[in-house]
């Protein structure tokens, strides 16, 4: 069995300032070895540990989709030592990646169903992976209607603006972007995600909801989803907890008897209802 | 078989030809397991070591790999310790702890090559406990002063000799060339009396504990039970089944190593998010985590309690917080409904 602590070498090919406040950068990494790229088989919702050699490693959700071969993308907020260093790295730097880690969004279960994807702020990363995967011509036919509700404090803080603009033009995705307060030049909706979800009122009939965002957004969106008729089994969430090993051994990311790194990060609301609120 | 105490040094010296031998030695006023380079360094008249011998297989600090960054790549060198080892004189409770750690470091999907390589290359020579300490409670957890679970050989001290119980083929191999006599009737009788005399003074009632823990996560009992805990983590650092670790880089210029170090759930930084949010923000949550992990979560995941009753957490706690009392309090507590 492979040593799960050894990172695969990757080259940072793009260090892109994603948000207006410059606190989120999107990093595009390419595998140095072709065989590593082949072995790195992932699905939307999974994460990886990214190494900055000499500084350390940290876990990030994979923002790219397996339908985009040749590279991995991570959108990373500048919060700690590893991420601050990462933000300053020049393109061309050699990094390490361990993964893919954790479970994925239940894309098999989603087949034939409508999907309501709800995201807030910079928690949109693995949702981008999921949406990109579903919109791929090979997969789009497997899924029903796709509704995406995405909110940020202001337009400058939305991730993946170019892609949002492209999705806007498509007829096979219903994209609703919203910002907290009115801003000049913004033609989209204004209001918090829970309120907008209530207005849009996506049907729970034959549908799954996938929700990722700050705790306060999740807290207030949950009752809306319940009111709309989404059962706890059909509300999919992704947790984050501090991690080191990413493989269920270092002991810190557990919520009750489940480890976010190996039993998650994707859980249904029903599963989380069985666990203590330690996340 | 019978081993004269006078033969012990020679035996260990002989084993050192092929193995790294780890044995209890006295350091200051306590015992610890260290690699010895002469058989006479082993001190088997001890009660138990301050830090468990788990550090032989899972060191407090170890290199996972070293790296050298180059212009167009990075060279990684794994640091897996493949040397053959023997731990001599470990107590049956500590041998049992390895069986519990095995489950953590070997899952269906991931094998930890550092722990598992050492584990597979290490032979365990146990030493029965003629005089368990007042803090010992191994029998409450299915162990015992002369339990053989996980061991390859067990030494039973009968005065001037050891009765050597051979438990595995790996154990038998260690005795090759020693030509030890079989235990005679008298020795067997003495061993029997020694075992009978090794009574434990405390029992902890674990019956029904798991089903209580299943429903008391939000119980107010945790508000009180953790109060005197300082969060120093002496209990976790000296626990034979605690396995939490941190991973850090140490580098100079283009070269460095990735290192893992023991870490502990009793520290606030252990679970602190980059955002400042902490799922276990106070001593209450952290203390609850430690109890829950050992007596509930581990049972859920591995069908075993992650405690062997060695009593180190009791001996080493600076404020005399006694896990036996904590468990008794939980057992005696009225179970209230588990609502947030």
Report pLDDT digits (tens) over A23-61: 999 999 999 999 999 999 999 999 999 999 999 999 999
What token pair was written down for A268?
A: 């249904």
- Report the Cα–Cα distance between both ends of chain A, in Å, rounded: 31
- Flag residues of chain A having pLDDT under 50: none
ipTM: 0.93
Contact of A46 with chain B, judged by CB distance below 8 Å, is answered with no
* Chain B residues near residue A51 by CB distance under 8 angstroms: 249, 258
Closest-CA residue in chain B for A7?
B76
Whether B65 and A1 lie within 8 Å, measured CB to CB: no
What is the rounded CA–CA span in Å between residue A182 and residue A179? Answer: 7
Whether A6 and B65 lie within 8 Å, measured CB to CB: yes
Helix or strand holding residue B73 (H, E): strand B73-78
- How many inter-chain contacts (A to B, CB under 8 Å) are there? 124
In terms of Cβ atoms closer than 10 Å to its own Cβ (0-12, 13-18, 19+), residue B283 is: middle
* Chain A residues near residue B275 by CB distance under 8 angstroms: 79
Residue to substitute from A54, A58, A218, A239, interface B, most B β-carbons within 10 A: A54
**pLDDT at site B62:** 97
Per DSSP, the residues of B302-319 read HSS-S-----HHHHH-TT
What is the rounded CA–CA span in Å between residue B330 and residue A133? Answer: 49
- Note the helical H segments in chain B: 8-15, 54-57, 92-105, 113-120, 169-174, 185-197, 209-213, 221-225, 234-237, 283-292, 298-302, 312-316, 323-332
**pLDDT at site B71:** 81
Instruction: For B142-166, give one letter per residue: b (16+ CB within 10 A) or e.
Output: ebbbbbbbbbbbbbbbbeebbbbbb
* Chain A residues near residue B243 by CB distance under 8 angstroms: 249, 251
What token pair was written down for B69?
A: 């960054």
- pLDDT tens string for chain B (340 positions)? 999 999 999 999 999 999 999 999 999 999 999 999 999 999 999 999 999 999 999 999 999 999 999 888 999 999 999 999 999 999 999 999 999 999 999 999 999 999 999 999 999 999 999 999 999 999 999 999 999 999 999 999 999 999 999 999 999 999 998 889 999 999 999 999 999 999 888 889 999 999 999 999 999 999 999 999 999 999 999 999 999 999 999 999 899 999 999 999 999 999 999 889 999 999 999 999 999 999 999 999 999 999 999 999 999 999 999 999 999 999 986 545 455 4
Q: Is A185 left (phi over 0), alpha (psi -120 to 50) or beta?
A: left
**pLDDT at site B335:** 47
Q: Flag whether A177 is marked binding.
A: no
Residue to substitute from B74, B111, B116, interface A, most A β-carbons within 10 A: B74
* Chain B residues near residue A50 by CB distance under 8 angstroms: none
Whether A251 and B245 lie within 8 Å, measured CB to CB: yes
**CB-CB: which of B78, B104, B248 is closest to A3?**
B78
Residue to substitute from B80, B81, B110, B116, interface A, most A β-carbons within 10 A: B110
Per DSSP, the residues of chain A read ---TTPPEEEEEEEEEE-STTS-EEEEEEEESSHHHHHH----TT-EEEEEETTTEEEEEE--S-TTSTT-EEEEEE--SHHHHHHHHPPTT-EEEEEEEES----TTTTTTSEEEEEEETTTTHHHHHHHHHHHSTTTGGGS--EEEEEEESSGGG-S-HHHHHHHHH-SS-EEEEEESS--TT--SEES-HHHHHHHH----TTEEEEEES-HHHHHHHHHHHHHHT--GGGEEEE-----SSSSS-S--SEETTEETTTT-SEEEHHHHHTS-S--
Q: Flag whether A261 is marked binding.
A: yes
Contact of A13 with chain B, judged by CB distance below 8 Å, is answered with no
Closest-CA residue in chain A for B242?
A251
Residues contacting B55, CB < 8 A, separation 6+ = B33
Whether A250 and B244 lie within 8 Å, measured CB to CB: yes
Q: Flag whether A212 is marked binding.
A: no
Pairing of β B61-70 and β B255-262: antiparallel
- Report the Cα–Cα distance between both ends of chain B, in Å, rounded: 59
Closest-CA residue in chain B for A51?
B249
What is the share, in percent, of chain A residues with pLDDT greater than 70?
100
Pairing of β B73-78 and β A24-31: unpaired
Whether A79 and B256 lie within 8 Å, measured CB to CB: no
Whether A53 and B285 lie within 8 Å, measured CB to CB: no
Q: Flag whether A250 is marked binding.
A: yes
Whether A4 and B78 lie within 8 Å, measured CB to CB: no
**pLDDT at site B333:** 61
**CB-CB: which of A53, A241, A256 is closest to B249?**
A53
**pLDDT at site B199:** 85
């Amino acid at each position: 069995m492979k040593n799960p602590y050894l990172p695969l070498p990757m080259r940072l090919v793009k260090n892109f300032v994603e948000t207006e406040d410059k606190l989120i950068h999107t990093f595009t990494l390419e595998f140095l070895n072709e065989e590593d790229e082949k072995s790195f088989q992932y699905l939307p919702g999974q994460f990886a540990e990214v190494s900055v050699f000499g500084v350390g490693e940290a876990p990030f959700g994979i923002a790219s989709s397996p339908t985009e071969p040749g590279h991995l993308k991570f959108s990373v907020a500048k919060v700690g030592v590893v991420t601050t260093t990462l933000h300053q790295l020049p393109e061309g730097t050699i990094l390490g990646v361990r993964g893919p880690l954790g479970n994925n969004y239940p894309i098999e279960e989603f087949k034939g169903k409508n999907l309501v994807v709800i995201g807030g702020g910079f928690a949109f990363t693995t949702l981008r992976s999921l949406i990109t995967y579903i919109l791929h011509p090979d997969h789009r036919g497997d899924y029903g209607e796709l509704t995406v509700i995405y909110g940020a404090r202001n337009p400058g803080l939305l991730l993946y603006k170019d892609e949002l603009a492209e999705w806007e033009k498509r007829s096979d995705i219903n994209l609703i972007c919203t910002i907290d307060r009115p801003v000049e030049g913004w033609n989209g909706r204004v209001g918090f995600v829970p309120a907008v979800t209530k207005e849009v009122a996506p049907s729970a009939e034959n549908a799954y909801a996938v929700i990722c965002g700050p705790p306060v957004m999740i807290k207030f969106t949950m009752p809306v989803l319940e009111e709309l008729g989404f059962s706890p089994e059909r509300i999919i969430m992704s947790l984050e907890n501090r991690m080191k090993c990413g493989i269920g051994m270092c002991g810190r990311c557990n919520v009750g008897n489940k480890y976010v790194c190996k039993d998650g990060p994707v859980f249904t609301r029903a599963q989380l209802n069985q666990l203590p609120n330690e996340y | 078989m019978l081993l004269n105490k006078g033969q012990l040094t020679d035996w260990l010296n002989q084993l050192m030809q092929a193995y790294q031998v780890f044995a209890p030695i006295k350091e200051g006023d306590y015992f610890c397991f260290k690699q010895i380079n002469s058989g006479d360094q082993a001190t088997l008249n001890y009660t138990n070591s301050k830090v468990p011998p788990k550090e032989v297989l899972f060191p407090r600090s170890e290199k996972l790999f070293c790296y050298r960054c180059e212009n167009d790549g990075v060279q990684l060198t794994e640091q897996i310790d493949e040397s053959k080892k023997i731990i001599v004189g470990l107590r049956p409770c500590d041998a049992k702890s390895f069986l519990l750690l095995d489950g953590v470091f070997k899952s269906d999907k991931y094998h930890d090559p550092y722990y598992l390589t050492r584990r597979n290359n290490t032979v365990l020579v146990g030493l029965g406990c003629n005089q368990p300490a007042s803090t010992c409670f191994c029998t409450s957890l299915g162990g015992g002063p002369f339990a053989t679970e996980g061991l390859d050989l067990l030494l039973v001290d009968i005065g001037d000799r050891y009765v050597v119980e051979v438990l595995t083929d790996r154990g038998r191999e260690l005795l090759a060339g020693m030509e030890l006599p079989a235990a005679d009737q008298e020795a067997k009788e003495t061993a029997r009396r020694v075992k009978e005399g090794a009574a434990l003074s405390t029992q902890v009632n674990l019956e029904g504990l798991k089903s209580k823990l299943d429903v008391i996560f939000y119980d107010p009992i945790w508000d009180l039970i953790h109060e005197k805990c300082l969060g120093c983590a002496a209990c976790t650092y000296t626990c034979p089944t605690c396995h939490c670790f941190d991973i850090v880089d140490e580098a100079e210029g283009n070269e460095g190593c990735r290192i893992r170090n023991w870490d502990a759930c009793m520290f606030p930084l252990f679970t602190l998010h980059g955002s400042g949010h902490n799922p276990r923000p106070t001593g209450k949550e952290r203390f609850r985590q430690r109890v829950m992990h050992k007596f509930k979560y581990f049972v859920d995941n591995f069908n075993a309690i992650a405690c062997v009753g060695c009593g180190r957490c009791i001996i080493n706690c600076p404020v005399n917080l006694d896990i036996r009392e904590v468990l008794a309090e939980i057992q005696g507590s009225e179970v209230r409904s588990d609502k947030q």
